[in-house]
Amino acid sequence: MKIAIPIFENRISPRFDFSPEMWVIEVERGKVVGQEKFSTANLNLPQRLEQITSNGVDKVICGGIDGLSRDQLGSRGIDVVQEVTGDADIVFDLFMRGRLRSGFCCERRGRRGFCPWRKDSGKRSS
């Protein structure tokens, strides 16, 4: 599986379509087997979508994303986890542990990650 995370410095980019960099991580059997970061600063939306597709990405984890981009990714068989904010490393770690959901806010506090459920905190599932 390949996961793409649009980033700004070390954080999830607030907007998918304006992220200056993309982090693509390849995972097999629960282990990272490859990763790369590449610039997306000068790509328009169709080029950005093509870059993700040509890299064989299966899932995009992002902050804000417009409906057109989300639909285009979905029509290409790419799953989108959206409205995630915070530190990209913490977000990826939560994804690897099966705990990431849309709407998470993931920040570093001291030496540990802090990821409260942002939306309707009373509806957490175990």
Tokens 């990763």: give the residue: 35
pTM: 0.84
The single-letter DSSP state of residue 78 is -
CB contact burial 99-120 (16+ within 10 A = b; e otherwise): ebbebbbbeeeeeebebeeeee
**pLDDT tens, residue by residue, 51-93:** 999 999 999 999 999 999 999 999 999 999 999 999 999 999 9
Residue 56's closest CA among 7, 16, 5, 2? 2
Tokens 């040509």: give the residue: 54
Task: Inform me whether the pLDDT recorded for 123 exceeds 70.
Answer: no
5: three-class secondary structure by DSSP: strand
Q: What is the CATH number of domain 2-119?
A: 3.30.420.130
Domain map (residue ranges) of the chain: 2-119
Can you tell me the distance from the alpha carbon of 86 to that of 92, in angstroms, rounded to the nearest whole number?
11
